[in-house]
Amino acid sequence: MNIVDQIKPEKRYLLANEEDINLNLRLKTNFNELNEFNNTRIISLSELFTKERNESTKYRIYGVINYLSFLRNKNTTTKTLNDLFSDDNTANIFNFEDYFELKLFRPIQQQTYFDISTRHYAEKLTAITETKDSKLNYYAYSKNIFNERNYSFMFNTVNVNPNEIVELDKEFIYNNNIYLGFIPKNNFVLYEKVYDAIDYVDYLDPLTEFGYDEQSLTDALLKDIYDFTDYSLADFKKYFLDKLKFFLKTYNIRITAQNINLNIRFIRNYLEIGNNDYYNPAAYVSNQTIFEGDFIQFDRENYLFNRRIKKEYLIVLVLTDTFQGLASEFNSYVNSNYSAFTKTVSTASQTVEVKFRFKYNPFYPIELKKYTTYLEQINPNLRGIPIPPDNAIRITAAISDNDRIIWRNLMPYGDPDNYDNPFINNTHYFFNDIIFMMKPDFSDRNTGILFNDFLLNFTNNRYNFKKSNIKIKPEVAPGLCE
């Protein structure tokens, strides 16, 4: 018989437990074994691309500039002044790259209405790039229909957020635009057209009476229209009377002093002789940091932005004609070629100076994201309504059933109604095909006479001289070099 001694746990060693403690190994699991044919992971590349695309704030702005201007002076044979400005077989002497540089601009954080009742404001812009951040090249062989150089441009990558908020007189809107700006390089005289909210009228006054009668159009009524300009009555009748009659007849306006005065700004805008904005331009300051952009109306009730009129700069060009003939023939030469113009004549140097004025739009908007076509609105007095976004506007102040808050969202990239620009290396690429146009300013008498002669075929051979004797350059500020 085998005798087995039982040793109690607490006797095995000092301070041992009084009972056996055993840890059982569990050789089973609650997890199911994976099937080798079902071991897959789903990744939506489309959703990932859209997410990264909408979160990226990196933009690359590039494109083509079609330069359309007005000065051509390659041919030195005896021709008319008409040919100086419009000969299709010559090259432009006013080269784009010599006078302008490119910068990108963004609206500043504080915008202000000119007139809060009509919600008109001029955007205030500030540059977000420097000259070194852009490249401007012209195509060696490519020309546009005006025989001008075509230019390509590209900016370094910029960081901008179209969902950024801008304050507009204590309300908030999205800063969803970037602007390509054409800023003058040199010290030539430049003017900014000054905004006046009352000048921008493109509709008839509601009190207008109808019933056109051409016989009622007197010289006194014509004087009311052109009186603030430098045109004479004879000038106005010659260059603008037919256009004015067409306007009045088209709208069937009864010709009375009251009707003319009610619609005088609309009439002047139609004739392109301008209002106070052209007649009293402000001198451009070359080192300014805040620029005035386009004139915009905010339709607050529908949350829509209407770009009423583009910003314009006015450039003065000086035509200098140096007579090469006999001194006794100089006065006759001046009278036969320049009698119609306001001019500066120097008998000692036998020169004639005539100033013309041209205009151009300095800022071209590039919309980074579009607003949705659907207008969101809620009644803030109801329970359980969602919290509106930062750009929401309360239309009515009093608590009522008609009280509402409205806004429009920005469309995300990927929406078929939004822009579908390339998105590569976490960067949006925005291509722009821009027409940069220099246009004659008809509010200036010399310019109006010259170009209306061309348009109305009044020139014949009246302006007759050798173009080799003529120089045309931008007017330079006194004491400064071009």
pLDDT, residue 92, reads 44
pLDDT, residue 310, reads 84
Residue whose pair of structure tokens reads 């490119």 in the numeric block: 102
Q: Alpha carbon of 469 to those of 350, 418, 451: distances in Å?
A: 11, 55, 21
Query: Side chain identity at 481, as an amino acid letter?
Result: C
pLDDT, residue 4, reads 52
Q: Are 439 and 360 in contact (CB under 8 A)?
A: yes
- What is the C-alpha to C-alpha distance for residues 324 and 466, in angstroms, rounded to an integer? 10
Q: Alpha carbon of 171 to those of 50, 381, 388, 394: distances in Å?
A: 30, 20, 13, 9
Q: pTM (2 decimals)?
A: 0.77
Question: pLDDT 10s digit of each residue in the chain, 482 long?
Answer: 455 555 566 566 666 666 666 666 666 666 666 666 665 665 678 888 889 999 999 999 999 988 776 554 444 443 445 555 544 433 444 567 777 889 999 999 888 888 777 888 889 999 999 888 988 887 767 776 666 778 889 999 999 999 999 999 888 999 999 999 988 776 677 788 777 767 777 789 999 999 988 888 899 999 989 888 888 898 899 889 999 999 999 999 999 999 999 999 899 888 888 776 676 677 777 677 888 888 888 998 899 998 888 888 888 888 888 888 888 888 988 888 888 888 999 999 999 998 888 888 899 999 999 999 999 988 877 777 788 888 998 887 666 667 888 999 999 998 888 888 999 999 999 999 988 888 888 888 888 888 777 655 544 444 555 555 667 677 776 544 44
Nearest residue to 89 via CA among 140, 139, 148: 148
pLDDT, residue 33, reads 65
Q: Considering only CA atoms, give the Rg of the chain.
A: 36
3-state SS class at 3? coil
Cβ neighbours, 10 Å, residue 23:
5
pLDDT, residue 156, reads 93
pLDDT, residue 371, reads 93
pLDDT, residue 431, reads 94
Q: Residues 6 or more apart from 129 whose CB is under 8 A from it? A: 103, 104, 155, 156, 158
pLDDT, residue 91, reads 40
Q: Residues 6 or more apart from 293 whose CB is under 8 A from it? A: 105, 107, 122, 123, 124, 125, 179, 311, 363
